[in-house]
């Protein structure tokens, strides 16, 4: 647990009208546990549909243009299984990244302390302290009743986001698309129609990794298929006409090369961000580091789960944080 000074800087609004808890409307009754998370953003939904369309297009070309017409059945079966498995894992990772709340569920019991008093303004020191163990930022919870229920310790401060009227824990930033504060927010990705945060970063990393792998695999198969067609008659190496085959292969080659470069770069930046325990926004804003420094291996286990297992590569395995919570703060 890391003790923090009460005078550190935060991106908070200091206008009086934003600092009055009476202005906050209590949040609506939370939905049942397991309620699906989905961002209703037109651009994000369109990008997600395009992502699935491009993967399915690659599936079509690989299967019906290159593998099924091939006379080498062993080659077709092996590559077909590998490509379809990677494509399935990529789409499953995409769904998990898109439909998972980027912040972990946190209840009022995550804020503990002794004593209770309420400040005139939320950017002033209060008689208490806030501790959020899991990092969720419930929308509209900066009400007088909720803050009084925190039983805060003397000489500490709490912060309020003026946009979503929420108590803002450390390492949280407001997303204008999700319309809420996201703890450990790396960025908002329209391709997964969601923010990349502490609870879905694993699935986003797996998505970029599997897309890069199927892109590389598709490029290799396109290269072999072109060589095969040049050596034999073009009418025998595909069930489509030669011009149609060439166009489909060129489009797949362009798609594969573009996504291989893009997802490889994203995968590298995400792994670097995890190892350094510094999100993309924190790096961009050059924010002062106010949290405990851990080893790269501990940071990896904080995102992918503890202990190390094959579940790290599975989008169906929910990360298990183990006994230790790596994100504990007293503000």
**pLDDT tens per residue across span 148-195:** 777 777 776 777 788 877 777 778 888 888 888 888 889 999 999 999
Q: Which residues pair with 46 in a beta bridge?
A: none
Using CA atoms, how far apart are residues 240 and 268, in angstroms rounded to an integer?
Answer: 38
Task: State the DSSP H helix or E strand holding residue 189, giving kind and residue range, or none if neither.
Answer: strand 187-189
Question: How many residues comprise the chain?
Answer: 331
Give the pLDDT of residue 189.
Answer: 93
Q: Which residue among the candidates 106, 189, 229, 237 is catalytic per the annotation?
A: 189
The CA–CA distances, whole Å, from 225 to 65, 138, 171, 231, 244 equal: 9, 53, 49, 10, 14
Check residue 112 and give its pLDDT: 33
pLDDT at 137: 65
CA distances, 78 to each of 62, 142, 310 (Å): 12, 56, 22
Residue linked to tokens 């930022």: 137
Residues 54-89 have pLDDT tens digits of 999 999 999 999 999 888 899 999 999 999 999 999
Q: Give CA–CA dist 130/4, Å, rounded.
A: 11
Single out the residue of 184, 188, 174 nearest to residue 291, CA to CA: 184
The verdict on pTM exceeding 0.85 is no
Q: Is 189 a catalytic residue?
A: yes
Residue 274 has pLDDT above 80, yes or no: yes
More confident residue, 220 or 238: 220
Comparing 207 with 242, which gets the higher pLDDT? 207
Top pLDDT among 257 and 20 is at 257
Q: What is the band of 127 on the pLDDT scale with cuts at 50, 70, 90?
A: very low
Q: In the numeric block, which tokens belong to residue 176?
A: 């204008």
Mean pLDDT of the chain: 77
């Amino acid at each position: 647990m890391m003790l923090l000074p009460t005078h550190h800087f935060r991106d908070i609004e200091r206008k009086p009208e934003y600092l009055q808890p009476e202005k906050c409307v209590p949040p609506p009754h939370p939905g049942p546990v397991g309620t699906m998370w989905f961002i209703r953003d037109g651009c994000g939904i369109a990008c997600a549909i395009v992502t699935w369309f491009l993967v399915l297009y690659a599936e079509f070309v690989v299967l019906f243009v290159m593998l099924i017409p091939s006379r080498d059945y062993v080659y077709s079966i092996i590559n077909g299984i590998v490509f379809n498995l990677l494509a399935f894992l990529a789409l499953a990772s995409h769904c998990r990244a898109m439909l998972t709340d980027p912040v972990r569920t946190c209840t009022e019991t995550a804020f503990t302390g002794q004593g209770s008093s309420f400040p005139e303004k939320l950017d002033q020191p209060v008689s208490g302290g806030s501790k959020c163990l899991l990092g969720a930022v419930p929308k509209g919870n900066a009400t007088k009743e909720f803050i009084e229920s925190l039983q805060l310790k003397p000489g500490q401060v709490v912060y309020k986001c003026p946009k979503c009227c929420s108590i803002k824990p450390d390492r949280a930033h407001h997303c204008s698309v999700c319309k809420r504060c996201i703890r450990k927010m790396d960025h908002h990705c329209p391709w997964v129609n969601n923010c990349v945060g502490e609870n879905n970063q694993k699935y986003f990393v797996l998505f970029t990794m599997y897309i890069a792998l199927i892109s590389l695999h598709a490029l290799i198969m396109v290269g072999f298929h072109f060589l095969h067609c040049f050596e034999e008659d073009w009418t025998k190496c595909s069930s489509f006409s030669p011009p149609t085959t060439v166009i489909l292969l060129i489009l797949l080659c362009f798609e594969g090369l573009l996504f291989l470069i893009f997802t490889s770069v994203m995968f590298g930046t995400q792994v670097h961000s995890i190892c350094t325990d510094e999100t993309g926004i924190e790096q961009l804003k050059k924010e002062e580091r106010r949290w405990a420094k851990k080893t790269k291996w501990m940071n990896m286990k904080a995102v992918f789960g503890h202990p190390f297992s094959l579940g790290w590569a599975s989008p169906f395995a929910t990360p298990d944080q183990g006994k230790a919570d790596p994100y504990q703060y007293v503000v």
